[in-house]
Chain A
Amino acid sequence: MPKFSRSVLLLAPSALLMGVFLIGLIGLITSSLSIDGQLDLGHYTAILNRPDYVEMLGRTLRIAALTTFFSVLLGFPTAYYVARYRGNRNFLLLLIIFPWLVSIVVRSYGWVVILGPRGLINGFASWVGLADRPMKLMYNDFGVILGLVHVLLPFMIIAILSVMLQIPRSMEEASMSLGGRPAHSFRTVVLPLALPGILTGITLVYLMATGAIVTPLLLGGLGDTMLGTEIFQEVMHFFDYPKAAALATVLLITALGVVLPIQIFERWLVRRLSDGAGQ
């Protein structure tokens, strides 16, 4: 069999999947763009005219951004440590992906047990007399971000780790033997080489955070939902598919507005970090 047709065969399953996905996406966008079979931007103007939706979009992006930020902050050192760990790395990997074995609902509910008004922390605080009224640790943005970081951190770690493992230890050693102090080695060698993994992680976590449904539902406040949850409710409770589709499209576009530049600037960023290091 010629090489070409074999590779086409190998691609067939993913092509099929992409096709179905694409059809769904086109269906989504067309249904959001029509009212009674006519091309109409009505759903969009309706959304943009409602301050609560605009605010919800803003909150969604802000929470996603903060979630991503904290995931990088926690995920990079963890991935770096695991990649450079000399002992049984598989055990550490197991610990990292262990949360994936527990459903999101259970994991998020775990936070309710810990953070809730009658949860562990508040219970302890009132027991030692630190607080006379329960602290508001959840049903707000703080709770949502905490929950999302918990749920999404493994993706960040795995994305960075997969790249870190490709970077031989001798890279840092070469830098050190050339007089590079740890900070210099980190900025000019480790960071640029790990950057593709970090950007993949950022993209992944940011996109998943913008589309989060369950965690904001369980840990977020009643009044300030995130867009993903709202879309879910439009579909499941109000059966307003076109409106949900329009919301989803808005979410998609704003999310891509952040993610695409990241991909485009990757090369430039690597060069900035390494070449001459700004000398």
Chain B
Amino acid sequence: MQDTDSEAVILKIDDVSKVFDGARAVDRVDLDVNEGEFVTLLGPSGCGKSTLLRMIAGFEVPSSGRILMRGKDMSRDPAYQREIGMVFQNLALFPHMNVYDNVAFGLRARKRTDDLDRRVREMISMVGLEGFESRRTGQISGGQRQRVALARSLVTAPDVLLLDEPLSALDLKLRRQLQVELKRIQRETGITFIFVTHDQEEALSMSDRIAVMTAGKVDQYGSAVDIYHKPQTEFVARFVGETNFLSGSVCSVTSEQTELDLDGTDIRLSVATTSAARRQGERMSVSIRPEHVLLGARGEYSVPARVVSHSFSGATITYALDSAAGPLLAQVPFQPGRGHPLLPGETVSAGWPNDAITLIPA
């Protein structure tokens, strides 16, 4: 996938904070972005995603810390001197210009007019808007406006493109379609994308790396697979996908293995020690994704459970279980003809494999 060679780091966010009237909107964030990478900032509303993006773009000055572009500190350069494009949350298309002039704006502003017409038309065709050149931005659909915003910010071939929830206003179907297209365009242009969203599915499906943010901090920065399967905090585990939390107390810790006595059962979990591990006797949780919970006496561990409710969603069925270790969600594949779903009140044994468990500090 991406090499993490430091040579390839195009953007370095070095201990950056932003304070608004005493409130820390961004709190000591460190982040490296590699050339050509698709990085997503994921987090709930108000966690500081836009503020971080605006500092990279040059609309806000960090209260402390540095932002380096190819090793050069640009924290205080004006926005128009940075080679950074931006697609705004509200798109911010120029309403007094047509599609063509919107796309041409950056080339004209930077006085790169030699090849202007060819480059503008090339960009317009890349986002599939041929024939719409002379339309005003008020006379095209939401998805088309999205494409204009993208074309406008890409025409100057910026080093980094920032996208602030560009798809959030669209309906689900169009959104999926544009996600695919965005990925294609990113691959074709090779431009580094920093994409903001609060939609975890969008983040998982599009990103090379995801930075999960909460309350101004980056909780975890890693590949989509790591974020989903090796969440390092309870927040990350809960925010990205659904998960089960079971708690227990640590009975022994070595550098390789941590053993945990699961509350309410006589199960002793043996988990690979992570940086999250605690000393003996302390409380910890484990996260188990619902799709890793197995029904029937399977998996390394199993606890007796009773079905509380079930919900059917096409390919899978999700059971809410009441187990000895606490409430559990189990998502199992559903195949018609292979027996009926379990009914509320039935008892079943719920288990999970050892490698499905992630240790989380309580």
Contacts and interface: CB of A to CB of B under 8 A. Distances in A.
Interface of A: 168, 170-171, 173-182, 184-185, 188-189, 192-193, 270-271, 274-277, 279
A176 B96 contact: no
B330 to A, nearest CB: 46
Contacts of A176: 58-59, 78-80
B104 A170 contact: no
Nearest to B90: A170
Contact of B85 (A177, A181, A182, A271): A177
Interface stretch (B1-9, B106-114, B193-201): B106-114
Given A168-B92, A173-B88, A178 B59 contact: no
Interface string B179-200: 0000000000000000000000
Nearest to B86: A177
15 contacts: A171-B94, A173-B79, A173-B92, A174-B88, A174-B94, A176-B80, A177-B57, A177-B80, A177-B82, A179-B156, A181-B109, A184-B109, A189-B94, A277-B108, A279-B113
Interface in B59-94: 59, 78-80, 82, 84-86, 88-90, 92-94
A177 B153 contact: yes
B95 interface: yes
B101 interface: yes
Nearest to A189: B94
Contacts, number: 82
Nearest to A273: B96
B132 interface: no
Given A168-B90, A171-B92, A193-B95, A178 B58 contact: no
Contacts of A177: 57-58, 79-80, 82, 84-86, 153
B97 interface: yes
A175 B109 contact: yes
A175 B152 CA distance: 10
The 6 closest A-B pairs by CB, nearest first: A178-B106, A170-B92, A179-B110, A180-B109, A176-B79, A174-B92
A273 to B, nearest CB: 8
Nearest to A195: B96
B105 interface: yes
B79 to A, nearest CB: 4
Contacts of B94: 171, 174-175, 189, 274
A192 B101 CA distance: 14
Interface string B245-269: 0000000000000000000000000
A176 B58 CA distance: 9
B92 A276 contact: no
Given A173-B79, A274-B97, A178 B153 contact: yes
B164 to A, nearest CB: 10
A175 B93 CA distance: 10
Nearest to B98: A275
A29 B361 CA distance: 87
Contacts of A275: 97-98, 101
Contact of B96 (A170, A173, A182, A270): A270
Given A173-B57, A176-B58, A276-B108, 16 more contacts: A168-B92, A170-B92, A173-B59, A173-B79, A173-B88, A174-B92, A174-B152, A175-B94, A177-B84, A178-B80, A179-B106, A188-B109, A274-B94, A275-B101, A276-B104, A279-B108
Contact of B109 (A173, A178, A270): A178
Nearest to B105: A178
Nearest to A271: B96
A274 B101 contact: yes
The residue in A171, A185, A271 that gathers the most chain B C-beta atoms within 10 A of its C-beta is: A171
A47 to B, nearest CB: 43
Interface in B16-56: none
B257 to A, nearest CB: 51
B86 A173 contact: yes
Contacts of A173: 57, 59, 79, 86, 88, 92
Contacts of B104: 276
B8 to A, nearest CB: 24
A143 B78 CA distance: 43
Nearest to B57: A177
Contact of B101 (A170, A180, A193, A276): A276
Contacts of B110: 178-179
B194 to A, nearest CB: 13
Contacts of A185: 80, 109
B93 to A, nearest CB: 8
The residue in A174, A182, A271 that gathers the most chain B C-beta atoms within 10 A of its C-beta is: A174
A230 to B, nearest CB: 42
Contacts of B89: 170
Contacts of A179: 80, 106, 109-110, 156
A142 B108 CA distance: 43
Given A178-B106, A179-B110, A277-B108, A193 B88 contact: no
B157 to A, nearest CB: 11
A274 B152 CA distance: 15
B105 A180 contact: yes
A270 B86 CA distance: 25
Contacts of B101: 274-276
